[in-house]
């Protein structure tokens, strides 16, 4: 081969290497920069060890088979959580995958650091938020702060799929669920509309009403339900770090705020429905008067793939005529 030929061959070889490298980066998408609540986060590669400080977000990470090694927890053995303090709808999955409980309630930076994470996931709002520690945690690993109060679970897993390299898993779960949701919608006989969807706490002294921004509200609307609109005077009653997904009501404004023709009770069983039916403030409301009060199961408090799937089963049992 002539010198010119060798030079040409070498140039073609180098070009092919360059094109291969560019293609590989394009295919894998790493490094990638993500937009979090507290600014952009750059990840050099798919994180092999993930710590979730939010028990709410952990379920979505498990949904997409992301390598979450440890998670914050809530009160163990409650109506919502198992003996580990993990939500009941995915507690068994967490146990099978060896997810470690980091702490209960208050975030612990030392416990997080001990897990040597490559990515730390933090919720921006809610009782499980560790956003006050975000700057401190960023010295340990990249920190992705996520809002869950204005997203469906599908939007959450899409975001987390991008952050973890599990986009295909997220898309597969969404496609599977959406097909089931579409089939159920075609069979539903809806109760009287509109509906008030809520979490009934205790004897009704505090009620959290799900808004259209909530994952619960989004799912109900996708199935054809219409959410009742509370009076404008009550619509400033947001709470828990300016969350967009709930309005808080109390005894004196229950009847005014719960103005739906049907009540759907999240994080509730039949005994809670009985409490609502016997509440003096609600005795004259159409939903109570017509006994249109339905409990949707304890695990519907936080909607992820697991609890949303269970919710479809519950709604089918209630509103599909055999």
Output the pLDDT for position 29: 83
Higher pLDDT among residues 249 and 308, named by residue: 308
Indicate whether 160 and 265 sit together in one domain.
Answer: no
Structure tokens at 152: 């469906």
Q: What is the CATH number of the domain that holds 218?
A: 3.40.50.1980
Structure tokens at 283: 């005795």
Higher pLDDT among residues 144 and 254, named by residue: 144
Structure tokens at 239: 């709470």
Looking at the 3D structure of the chain, how many domains does it have? 2
Q: Tell me if the pTM is above 0.75.
A: yes
Output the pLDDT for position 8: 53
Residue 21 lies in a domain: no
Range of the domain at 73: 32-181
Q: Give me the chain's average pLDDT, please.
A: 89
Residue among 252, 255, 253, 276 at smallest CA distance from 264: 276
pLDDT tens-place string over residues 169-197: 999 999 999 999 999 999 999 999 999 99
The pLDDT confidence band at residue 26, using thresholds 50, 70 and 90, is very low
Output the pLDDT for position 18: 45
Distance from C-alpha of 180 to C-alpha of 216, rounded to nearest angstrom: 16
| Angle, CA of 188, 190 and 192, to the nearest 5° | 175
Indicate whether 122 and 218 sit together in one domain.
Answer: no
Q: Read off the pLDDT of each residue in 10-20 and give the average, rounded to a whole number.
A: 48
Residue 152 lies in a domain: yes
Distance from C-alpha of 87 to C-alpha of 59, rounded to nearest angstrom: 8
Output the pLDDT for position 9: 52
The pLDDT confidence band at residue 118, using thresholds 50, 70 and 90, is very high
The pLDDT confidence band at residue 240, using thresholds 50, 70 and 90, is very low
């Amino acid at each position: 081969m002539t010198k010119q030929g060798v030079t040409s061959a070498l140039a073609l070889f180098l070009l092919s290497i360059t094109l291969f490298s560019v293609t590989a980066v394009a295919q894998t998408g790493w490094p990638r920069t993500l937009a979090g609540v507290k600014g952009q986060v750059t990840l050099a590669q798919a994180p092999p060890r993930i710590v979730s400080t939010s028990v709410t977000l952990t379920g979505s990470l498990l949904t997409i088979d992301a390598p979450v090694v440890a998670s914050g927890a809530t009160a163990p053995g409650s109506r919502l959580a198992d003996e580990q303090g993990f939500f009941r709808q995915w507690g068994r999955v967490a146990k099978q995958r060896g997810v470690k409980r980091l702490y209960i309630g208050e975030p612990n930076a030392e416990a997080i650091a001990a897990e040597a994470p490559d990515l730390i996931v933090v919720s921006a709002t809610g009782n499980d938020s560790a956003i006050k520690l975000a700057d401190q945690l960023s010295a340990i690993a990249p920190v992705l702060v996520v809002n869950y109060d204005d997203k469906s679970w599908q939007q959450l897993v899409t975001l987390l799929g991008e952050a973890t390299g599990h986009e295909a898993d997220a898309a597969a779960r969404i496609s599977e669920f959406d097909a089931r949701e579409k089939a159920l919608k075609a069979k539903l006989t809806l109760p009287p509309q509109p509906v008030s969807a809520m979490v009934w706490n205790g004897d009704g002294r505090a009620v959290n009403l799900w808004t259209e921004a909530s994952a619960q509200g989004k799912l109900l609307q996708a199935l054809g339900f219409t959410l009742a609109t509370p009076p404008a005077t009550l619509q400033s009653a947001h709470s828990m770090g300016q969350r967009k997904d709930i309005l808080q009501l109390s005894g004196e404004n229950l009847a005014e705020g719960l103005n739906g023709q049907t009540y759907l009770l999240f994080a509730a069983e039949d005994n809670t429905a009985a409490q609502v039916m016997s509440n003096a403030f609600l005795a004259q409301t159409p939903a109570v008067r017509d006994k249109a009060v339905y409990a949707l199961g304890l695990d519907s408090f936080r909607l992820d793939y697991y609890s949303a799937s269970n919710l479809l089963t519950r709604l089918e049992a209630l509103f599909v005529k055999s």
